[in-house]
Structure 1
């Protein structure tokens, strides 16, 4: 158990209100990976108009990023989500579930007025560890 990423929800705390885990612990001497925020840009450098299409592209970009470092979803320990409009949680959680299954990382979500470019509607930053 010492050389494994562990996730838990302490018994004396309320259950998470979404698909995340309260605590994700990485073992000592793990390699830590921190991404820049991944956005909904497609391979041609274009941003779709809809938030859901940007969510789809963002998860595609995260998967590509993970593959580039021989990482998997199990290596992700924390996700920070920023959005400029109301998230369709059914859609986001369908992408989330496809990536993580039921092995959720820690997560923070914030709604903000704008991101780095006016066309960006959502941005996800990932933290990952390799044991």
Structure 2
């Protein structure tokens, strides 16, 4: 029987993830792949809040709009890349993360960098998704 489900797992012998992610996400053969541009904290009026947590909320709202536009859900997300220029309030980010993923986490990478595309952007999140 052909596997048509995205599988997320943490292999035996690996340390427990230090955050809300999975070590491996396996995509079924012949799946459609979706790669988003990095989503940022602009609100629906095109305004960028100065506060990092407000940018996080808007970024997750924008991710949901992008996913919805293609009929995708969090179940389709295979990889999340997060870039931030300021220290992330992980309790706040994970509250937004839980709203999207529950506790079935995709693979994730986080990087702190000196700047993003515009000076007012504090965080940018890129999504990779697949549909079997």
Give the TM-score normalised by the residue count of structure 2.
Answer: 0.98
Q: Which runs of 5+ in 2 are unaligned?
A: none
Matches of 2:51 and 2:70 in 1, distance apart?
A: 29
Q: Which runs of 5+ in 1 are unaligned?
A: none
Deviation of 1:74 (Å)? 0.4
Deviation of 1:26 (Å)? 0.4
State the match for 1:11 in structure 2: 12
Matches of 2:10 and 2:74 in 1, distance apart?
A: 19
State the match for 1:112 in structure 2: 113
Q: 4+ residue runs of structure 1 moved beyond 6 angstroms?
A: none
Give the TM-score normalised by the residue count of structure 1.
Answer: 0.99
1:87-118 deviation per Cα after TM superposition (whole angstroms, max 9, x unaligned): 00000000000100001000000000100000
State the match for 1:94 in structure 2: 95
Deviation of 1:2 (Å)? 1.1
Count of matched residue pairs: 131
